[in-house]
């Protein structure tokens, strides 16, 4: 069964906090950080979830009102047991559908091969690197996607 991709609702908060913990462990966002994301949903955040009865993935976008043509992907993740089944791709497709005419930027750890492969599959290209950005040892790769339509 393919999950439905839908906008997050306030009642998703506890499940998202738990899923983020499973996906990111020590670098998961706190419940307070997630609550801030929800507070900003009408302001500059878009949170989409993959829902198949339980939540199995999510993507968080920053759509700043000040620089209106640039969107940032802040986080995308899929529960480990359901990776490589297309859910990350479904989330990215729905997210990028909302970004027509905009530039989309993201930052990813240079060693995160799955995420980089996912982003490349969607046409993201590396535009720069920040040396030693993650805890001093790992570079951050900045990637950009541009919709030509
Ligand atoms: C990155 C992540 C979201 C990908 O989600 P996913 O549901 O497994 O991705 P999909 O199954 O939709 O894969 C889509 C395409 O991305 C690429 N891809 C994804 N994972 C890959 C991997 N481990 N190795 C190689 N290519 C990969 C492939 O091109 C794949 O297409 P294919 O399966 O037809 O070859 C998932 O691995 C994840 O949650 N990682 C941990 C969280 C994280 O690091 N997020 C990114 C930083 S915020």
Instruction: Residue 12: give the domain boundaries.
Output: 4-146
CA distance 148 to 40: 29
CA distance 122 to 100: 14
The alpha carbon of 90 and the centre of ligand 1 are apart by a number of angstroms equal to: 11
Q: What's the CATH code of the domain at 34?
A: 3.40.630.30
The alpha carbon of 115 and the centre of ligand 1 are apart by a number of angstroms equal to: 5
Does 78 or 44 have the greater pLDDT score?
78
pLDDT at position 16: 97
- The set of residues, in sequence order, having a beta carbon less than 8 Å from that of 79 and lying 6+ positions away, is 19, 22, 23, 56, 57
pLDDT tens column, 88-124: 999 999 999 988 888 999 999 999 999 999 999 999 9
Across residues 26-34, what is the average pLDDT? 95
Total tally of structural domains belonging to the chain: 1
pLDDT at position 38: 92
- Our mutation pick for probing the ligand 1 site, out of 80, 88, 140, counting the most ligand atoms within 8 A of Cβ, is 88
DSSP 63: -
Confidence label for 148 from pLDDT (cuts 50, 70 and 90): low
pLDDT tens column, 35-72: 999 998 888 899 999 999 999 999 999 987 655 689 99
Enumerate the β-bridge partners of residue 73. Answer: 61, 106
């Amino acid at each position: 069964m393919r999950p439905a991709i839908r906008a997050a609702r306030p009642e998703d908060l506890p499940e998202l906090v738990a899923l983020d913990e499973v996906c990111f462990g020590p670098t998961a966002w706190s419940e307070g950080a997630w609550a801030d994301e929800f507070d900003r949903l009408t302001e500059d955040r878009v949170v989409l979830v993959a829902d198949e009865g339980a939540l199995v993935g999510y993507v968080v976008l920053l759509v700043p009102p000040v620089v209106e043509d640039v969107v940032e992907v802040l986080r995308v993740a899929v529960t480990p047991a359901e990776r490589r089944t297309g859910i990350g791709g479904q989330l990215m497709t729905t997210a990028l559908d909302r970004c027509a005419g905009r530039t989309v930027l993201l930052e990813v750890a240079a060693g995160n091969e799955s995420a980089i492969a996912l982003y490349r599959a969607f046409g993201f290209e590396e535009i720069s690197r920040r040396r030693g950005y993650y805890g001093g040892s790992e570079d951050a790769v900045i990637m950009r996607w541009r919709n030509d339509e």
